[in-house]
Amino acid sequence: MNIILIVSDTFRYDYLRFNGNPWIKTPELDQLAQRSLVFDQCYLSSYPTIPQRTDLITGRYCFPHFGWQPLPEDWKTLAEYLREAGYVTQLICDTPHLLKRGYNFDRGFDGYYWIRGQEGDIAFTRMNDPIQLAIPHNKTRADYQLKKSSQSQSGLPAKVTLADRHKWLHKEWRYEEDRYMVKTAQATMRWLEDNYKASKFFLWVDFFDPHEPWDPPEYLVKQYDPNYQKLKYQMFHPNYGPAN
């Protein structure tokens, strides 16, 4: 038996059409729900990105007793159990927090593939281009990584936010194919084409979208607001708390 675990961070329960929402369009998820089982009373203990994944692959009740931190070395993961049982194991993700800074979520996988560049991850710098204001700084979250860099490198402003960084790194985004979710899905399809003959495999596909920054292709925005006009500042990366 092959096992595919798909994580998408995060859908609102009441924003899915198969859960009764009359105006949100989720045709692929609706079709999946029709062909499978929907667990309406399935709960995990954790909500934040890393504690939730820790629950998921260790079976432990973590948050709030176990916070946002790397996997402990002595906690055995689902991938490790399945590899011992003879499974080929593969992780494909664009969620940066799983693999950066030694968080160890690649443990137990024969292969892992990281689509770089999502929130908090700089794959390539653009030092020839100025970092410009994307959202008023009191409305969004500070970028502590670039703030540290700006203290020792010229060319960076004294204060940088995650919204500023997003626009700086992704200024050329135009098509749907530019987005990370599409790249992750394409990598997954390639992997399945190359491994479908495996006798048994465990594939974990982890999407960071629709997590902020909420910066979808414009044609998707206009499905819900046909008269949408771009504003000077788009609230695509809000703060985690009161915004003045």
DSSP letters for 107-172: TT-SEEEE---STT--SS--TTS-----S-GGGS-B-HHHHHHHTTSTTS-S--BHHHHHHHH-TT
DSSP state of 76: -
How far apart CA 206 and CA 88 sit, in angstroms, is 17
How far apart CA 31 and CA 121 sit, in angstroms, is 33
Torsion, Cα of 122, 124, 230, 163 (10° steps):
30
- Tell me how long the chain is: 244
Nearest by Cα to 104 from 73, 74, 80: 73
Per-residue model confidence as pLDDT tens for the chain (244 residues): 999 999 999 888 899 999 999 999 999 999 999 999 998 888 778 888 999 999 999 999 888 888 899 999 999 999 999 999 999 999 999 999 999 888 999 999 999 999 999 987 888 888 888 888 988 888 888 887 776 655 455 566 668 888 998 888 888 888 889 999 999 999 999 999 999 999 999 999 999 999 988 888 888 888 888 888 877 788 888 887 654 5
DSSP state of 70: P
Identify each DSSP E strand in 46-96 by its residue range.
Answer: 88-93
Nearest by Cα to 240 from 53, 75, 68: 68
How far apart CA 238 and CA 228 sit, in angstroms, is 20
Tokens 């495999």 correspond to 201
The pTM for the full model equals 0.90
Torsion, Cα of 170, 171, 172, 176 (10° steps):
60
Judged by DSSP in three states, 15 sits in helix
- Model pLDDT, residue 149: 58
| Residues 112 and 191: beta-carbon distance below 8 Å | no
| Residues 107 and 84: beta-carbon distance below 8 Å | no
The encoded tokens of residue 156 equal 């960076």
Q: Which amino acid is at 83?
A: R
The encoded tokens of residue 77 equal 């993961």
Q: Which amino acid is at 164?
A: D
Q: Which amino acid is at 8?
A: S
Residues paired with 204 in a beta bridge: 5, 91
